[in-house]
Copies of this chain bind each other. A is one copy, B any other.
Amino acid sequence: MTQEQTMAACAVNAWTTQIDRATKLFSGASDQQLLAEIAPGKNRLIYLFGHLLAVHDAMRPLLGIGPRRYEHLDAAFLTGADKAVADLPSTASLKEMWEEVHASLLAAFNAWSPADWVGKHTAVSDDDFAKNPLRNRLAVLLNRTGHLAYHLGQCVLAPKT
């Protein structure tokens, strides 16, 4: 592997490690556990589940992989706060969407060359990218890996029963 291939592989590895932890946590949680607040008066586990799902679905257009698949999640999990929307998707459907989104992201990640990784994401203009080449796909992946870890740290605080 070249240096840049190794570096990209490390970043994908870091992402996959956190995704695997999250998948285990959410898929292993009962409906009752998902409805618990992570701490008194804070977000419910199900909100963070749907929030991460919506944010990761939005990585598809941001990284130029494809269109959003689950934009209907945004009102309940992204643009609104927890409990703003009463009627949530079933936990079974959330778990299914979770698998699909992450499979589609990982397939793209594994196919990209180093040039793809340091290429610009779709939310930055050519001019701005020329000024700051760090606004690339790899930076988006690292940012979203951090965002995921941040919320995972909160999820593990939720009551287990």
Contact = CB atoms under 8 A, between A and B. Distances in A.
Nearest to A37: B39
| Interface size class of chain A, counting residues whose CB lies under 8 Å from the partner chain | 35 or more
Report how many copies the assembly holds: 2
Interface of A is mostly: helix
A161 to B, nearest CB: 14
Interface in A49-97: none
Max chain B Cβ within 10 angstroms of own Cβ: one of A1, A139, A142: A142
A32 interface: no
Interface of A: 1-4, 6-11, 13-14, 17-18, 38-40, 42, 114-115, 117-118, 133-134, 136, 138-139, 142-143, 145-147, 149-154, 157
